[in-house]
Chain A
């Protein structure tokens, strides 16, 4: 008999449904998520490279060795150059303003687009090249300040340029905008004509590189040893930490979800294969009595499994492809970027997963079929072949570990999930046994339906314990995913809720504070207080002078930063050490941001000396604060009590939200307060929000797929017990039990299993989520009281419905037919 014919016969007999479905789901999850994440990663990487305008950037305060560019060109890398410097921009005789000039070469930007508008604050227009020679693009707010319009001429140094557009955003717009004036964008080759860049000028040269990752790595390897102090290489990770962190978390989540999906599918495969194998004991015994050898049996089932694996791979890969393709086609119009290509790898990974799943989950029970005794044909009451549950679990666990390690390439994540799974499984096994015993004792005193149901639970306590463990694992994994997903998305969205301040005002003079507040309040756009800002530099800690190195790698050095004062702890700040002061205090105190305190090795109680202007101020550190740097709120490293900074020259800053339709307000505002600097962050915020919504949607989709895998585990788990339930119910019905009694018993039995599983899942999920969020995903953890209600209820509902549905034949099949067939 060929394997193909046996499979066809088993398929007709309905034996293969769950096994094939579980395999298809495993392959589809792996291929789908893998294709999805690699396409998403490709596109997100493209997107994040846009924040750098390149794949790598070399930054320097002096011009580069020309050999570096030659080397990069000879390696086939794309190159662009920029030069940033502050300079006065003149319009006619009277109007001038200090601007942040950026000269860009013709190839700039290598990644992403420039956004300009034909008129200041006008309609946005994406372009891939900067201004041509002889032209400049200016920040919208410079137009009213210089009283120029499009087509007018402005002067930088010795050269005059025509203003042809308003520059609205650059892909590599730095977040460190403080201290810089409004942007003027010009062509790189116009620099000599201006004659403003002289030796010793405060400038930043950037060499932008793009190309294949392999070549880039080679180039970086060659370049790094030659870098001098003040020269730095930037990549996506260190240039945009906010985006980098969000992306990394999204990737970790998808990997975690994918791995858990495979765990679930693996369990479903193992359960279905075990049931398939147990139902084939009699077949094998008959075949053996008719002369089939163990080798024949193994060959037969082995090739059946291979055929099954082949079909599952084709079906699963197609399903995986369809899932990610339909996601991208549904969401593509809303995505800010074009999804990349996934290549063949995801489908190879899917095929390999199918083989690993078959060998480690399905083959162990099937392989034992070869050892079935032919004597079963005469004695059906012969004990079944040893189930070797422990060995099977061991093999399955090893396979899961390898698969997870392979998918995630992250042993920490793998170990965290495995440790969670193992400890919860063992705990669940012990608790399930105890709960089932307790249930039986309670049932002794109950009515007949309850007694029947709870006796059923007790009688199959071994199998039921296993089922409770499996159900609780499946529910736990789903709860974990749902919780982590919710808090991940909520945390992102909380960072940038609707109405997030998207414009910053800095350099507000003290005498302008009231007028500015009034002007913003009148427009009803002000949501933040006006914060005072004093520029100061730390010079000593505990009397020891700090180095004056400009090297940012040097952690303990003099640094100029913005100081502010406040009577209360600013919103969104959290004390991690020390105490907040009384607002009226006259003591010389300071509260320092956690990261900075760490870098500069400052602790509560230390004395810190600042140089503000030409004066010195010595204060004692009274507290350390944690800030949320990913929020778009004004944040300060150093906060003083109001009295401590009295008498020092301060300017004020604030932030507010302005809808894109209200941009004309800025024209009027800038005319009214020409010395106030307006920084527009709305374009950047919109980009960030687009990425977040894309990743959130991806996570939702992945969760749905995992839910299907979870449901399959539950179905496979329930089906594993259908035969013995059928047999028992047939006997009971033959003895005169009514359908209602048996159905009631089933409902109570499955509901009890569901309740125990839901309860254990809740405990496991709460513990795992706290570990995952604090240790792996680097997020804050808060308990979920609602979960303690949702978990058990979900358990009762899901297991109850699935269990009774899958066992419906128990009450619908005629008892005689059941007794004859079994």
Chain B
């Protein structure tokens, strides 16, 4: 489903360049759940951005569902994301001017789904927010906002779901509930899950863990 070959990411700094990822080779199979773990600054989020096609690699290759991302421009990558990719972010990334329902409808509308509204309402029900559809993000708690984000991610029925510290902004109890929900729906839909996290307990629930250190893949278990 996802494959990288000698993936490199460099960014310019005041005195030259900083290499954030130093030649990553990995392969993630369909329906597999994989956690990318490592200390702050180890390059986890950068790797996630490259795998999801949000950023361009300085060198090396990334394949998503057999398509090499390096050959695509930003618009083509956007189309690929619309068709195959979903996201859950640490800071939820809901649009504040849209209601919970409208936030979930957004990716469906972008894909041109005719019945976006009932589908979105269905997923909000699935995450337990049937009575909050007309609420704006500022009227929801952190856990509720993340549930809306999970509904949004799965509503478009992606092949791959990227989750960037999905429980990072939540207390332990809420975080645990959110993680349950995430893995539950993921299992139901058979989605490939790529998760970036600090949390050992969350990482432990994945099929596989990739350890990053100083921009290098130092282990996989």
**Contacts from A to B (Cβ < 8 Å):** 1, 9-10, 12-13, 15, 282-283, 286-296, 373-375, 377-380, 817, 821
Q: Contacts A375-B55, A379-B45 known; A290 to B102 CB distance under 8 Å?
A: no
Q: Which of B49, B95, B96, B110 contacts A291 (CB 8 A)?
A: B110
Check B110 against A286 for contact (C-beta < 8 Å): no
- Report the minimum CB–CB distance from A192 to chain B (whole Å): 87
Check B48 against A290 for contact (C-beta < 8 Å): no
A377 to B105, CA, bound (A): 18
- Most chain A CB within 10 A, of B48, B54, B85, B138, is at B54
**Contacts from B to A (Cβ < 8 Å):** 45, 48-49, 52, 54-55, 74-75, 78-83, 85, 87, 89, 91, 93, 95-98, 102, 105-107, 109-111, 138, 152, 156, 164
A817 to B137, CA, bound (A): 12
Q: Which residue of A lies closest to B138 (CB)?
A: A821
- Report the minimum CB–CB distance from A641 to chain B (whole Å): 84
A286 to B82, CA, bound (A): 12
A291 to B87, CA, bound (A): 11
A10 to B87, CA, bound (A): 24
Q: Which residue of B lies closest to A289 (CB)?
A: B87
A701 to B78, CA, bound (A): 53
Q: Contacts A293-B79, A295-B75, A378-B48 known; A10 to B97 CB distance under 8 Å?
A: yes
Chain A to chain B contacts (Cβ below 8 Å), 25 pairs: A13-B96, A282-B93, A286-B93, A289-B52, A289-B54, A289-B81, A289-B93, A290-B82, A290-B87, A291-B78, A291-B79, A291-B80, A291-B81, A291-B107, A293-B74, A373-B54, A374-B54, A374-B78, A375-B54, A377-B87, A378-B48, A378-B54, A378-B89, A378-B164, A817-B138
Check B109 against A1 for contact (C-beta < 8 Å): yes
User: Which residues on B sit within 8 Å (CB–CB) of A289?
Assistant: 52, 54, 81, 87, 93
- Report the minimum CB–CB distance from A341 to chain B (whole Å): 44
A145 to B45, CA, bound (A): 108
Q: Which residue of A lies closest to B105 (CB)?
A: A1
Check B49 against A12 for contact (C-beta < 8 Å): no
Check B55 against A288 for contact (C-beta < 8 Å): no
Q: Contacts A12-B97, A378-B45, A821-B96 known; A287 to B110 CB distance under 8 Å?
A: yes
- Report the minimum CB–CB distance from A167 to chain B (whole Å): 74
A378 to B87, CA, bound (A): 10
Q: Contacts A289-B54, A291-B111 known; A375 to B79 CB distance under 8 Å?
A: no
A290 to B156, CA, bound (A): 9
Q: Contacts A1-B109, A9-B97, A378-B49 known; A288 to B78 CB distance under 8 Å?
A: yes
Check B75 against A283 for contact (C-beta < 8 Å): no
Check B93 against A292 for contact (C-beta < 8 Å): no
Check A293 against B97 for contact (C-beta < 8 Å): no
Check B109 against A291 for contact (C-beta < 8 Å): no
Check A375 against B96 for contact (C-beta < 8 Å): no
- Most chain B CB within 10 A, of A282, A283, A373, A374, is at A374
Check A377 against B110 for contact (C-beta < 8 Å): no
Q: Which residue of A lies closest to B82 (CB)?
A: A291
**Nearest 6 interchain pairs by C-beta:** A291-B82, A13-B97, A293-B75, A290-B107, A291-B81, A293-B78
A289 to B87, CA, bound (A): 8
User: Which residues on A sit within 8 Å (CB–CB) of B54?
Assistant: 289, 373-375, 377-378
Q: Contacts A289-B81, A291-B81, A292-B110 known; A375 to B49 CB distance under 8 Å?
A: yes
Check B138 against A1 for contact (C-beta < 8 Å): no
User: Which residues on A sit within 8 Å (CB–CB) of B107?
Assistant: 290-291
- Report the minimum CB–CB distance from A818 to chain B (whole Å): 12
Instruction: List 20 other contacts, CB 8 Å, given A15-B97, A282-B93, A378-B45.
Output: A1-B106, A1-B109, A12-B97, A13-B96, A283-B95, A283-B97, A286-B95, A286-B106, A290-B87, A291-B78, A291-B82, A291-B83, A291-B111, A291-B156, A292-B110, A373-B54, A374-B81, A377-B93, A378-B54, A817-B138
User: Which residues on B sit within 8 Å (CB–CB) of A378?
Assistant: 45, 48-49, 54, 89, 164
Q: Which residue of B lies closest to A11 (CB)?
A: B97
- Report the minimum CB–CB distance from A815 to chain B (whole Å): 15
- Report the minimum CB–CB distance from B114 to chain A (whole Å): 13
User: Which residues on B sit within 8 Å (CB–CB) of A286?
Assistant: 93, 95, 106
User: Which residues on A sit within 8 Å (CB–CB) of B164?
Assistant: 378
User: Which residues on B sit within 8 Å (CB–CB) of A290?
Assistant: 81-82, 87, 106-107, 110, 152, 156
A133 to B54, CA, bound (A): 96
Q: Which residue of B lies closest to A2 (CB)?
A: B109
User: Which residues on B sit within 8 Å (CB–CB) of A377?
Assistant: 54, 87, 89, 93
A741 to B90, CA, bound (A): 34
Check B75 against A294 for contact (C-beta < 8 Å): yes
A373 to B109, CA, bound (A): 20
Q: Which residue of A lies closest to B80 (CB)?
A: A291
- Report the minimum CB–CB distance from A766 to chain B (whole Å): 46
- Most chain B CB within 10 A, of A1, A282, A380, is at A1
- Report the minimum CB–CB distance from A432 to chain B (whole Å): 29
A375 to B85, CA, bound (A): 14
A98 to B79, CA, bound (A): 98
- Report the minimum CB–CB distance from B108 to chain A (whole Å): 9
- Report the minimum CB–CB distance from B199 to chain A (whole Å): 18
User: Which residues on A sit within 8 Å (CB–CB) of B93?
Assistant: 282, 286, 289, 377
A291 to B77, CA, bound (A): 8
User: Which residues on A sit within 8 Å (CB–CB) of B80?
Assistant: 291
Q: Which residue of A lies closest to B137 (CB)?
A: A821
Q: Which residue of A lies closest to B107 (CB)?
A: A290
Q: Which residue of A lies closest to B77 (CB)?
A: A374
Q: Which residue of B lies closest to A377 (CB)?
A: B93
User: Which residues on B sit within 8 Å (CB–CB) of A1?
Assistant: 105-106, 109-110
User: Which residues on A sit within 8 Å (CB–CB) of B79?
Assistant: 291, 293
Check B89 against A9 for contact (C-beta < 8 Å): no
User: Which residues on B sit within 8 Å (CB–CB) of A292?
Assistant: 78, 82, 110
User: Which residues on B sit within 8 Å (CB–CB) of A288?
Assistant: 74, 78, 81
A287 to B106, CA, bound (A): 8
User: Which residues on B sit within 8 Å (CB–CB) of A375?
Assistant: 49, 54-55
Q: Which residue of A lies closest to B55 (CB)?
A: A375
A380 to B164, CA, bound (A): 13
Q: Which residue of B lies closest to A8 (CB)?
A: B97
- Report the minimum CB–CB distance from B91 to chain A (whole Å): 8
User: Which residues on B sit within 8 Å (CB–CB) of A10?
Assistant: 97
User: Which residues on A sit within 8 Å (CB–CB) of B138?
Assistant: 817, 821
Q: Which residue of A lies closest to B164 (CB)?
A: A378
User: Which residues on A sit within 8 Å (CB–CB) of B106?
Assistant: 1, 286-287, 290
A296 to B93, CA, bound (A): 20
User: Which residues on B sit within 8 Å (CB–CB) of A293?
Assistant: 74-75, 78-79
A821 to B136, CA, bound (A): 12
Q: Which residue of B lies closest to A295 (CB)?
A: B75
A296 to B82, CA, bound (A): 12
Check A9 against B82 for contact (C-beta < 8 Å): no
A283 to B96, CA, bound (A): 9
- Report the minimum CB–CB distance from B120 to chain A (whole Å): 12
Q: Which residue of B lies closest to A297 (CB)?
A: B78
User: Which residues on B sit within 8 Å (CB–CB) of A296?
Assistant: 78, 110
- Report the minimum CB–CB distance from A287 to chain B (whole Å): 7
A15 to B97, CA, bound (A): 9
- Report the minimum CB–CB distance from A198 to chain B (whole Å): 90
A380 to B45, CA, bound (A): 12
Q: Which residue of B lies closest to A15 (CB)?
A: B97
User: Which residues on A sit within 8 Å (CB–CB) of B81?
Assistant: 288-291, 374
A60 to B130, CA, bound (A): 93
- Report the minimum CB–CB distance from A368 to chain B (whole Å): 14
Q: Contacts A1-B106, A375-B54, A821-B138 known; A291 to B48 CB distance under 8 Å?
A: no
- Report the minimum CB–CB distance from B25 to chain A (whole Å): 22
Q: Which residue of A lies closest to B45 (CB)?
A: A378
Q: Which residue of A lies closest to B95 (CB)?
A: A283
Check A9 against B74 for contact (C-beta < 8 Å): no
- Report the minimum CB–CB distance from B124 to chain A (whole Å): 16
- Report the minimum CB–CB distance from A438 to chain B (whole Å): 30
User: Which residues on A sit within 8 Å (CB–CB) of B102?
Assistant: 9
- Report the minimum CB–CB distance from B145 to chain A (whole Å): 10
- Report the minimum CB–CB distance from A294 to chain B (whole Å): 6
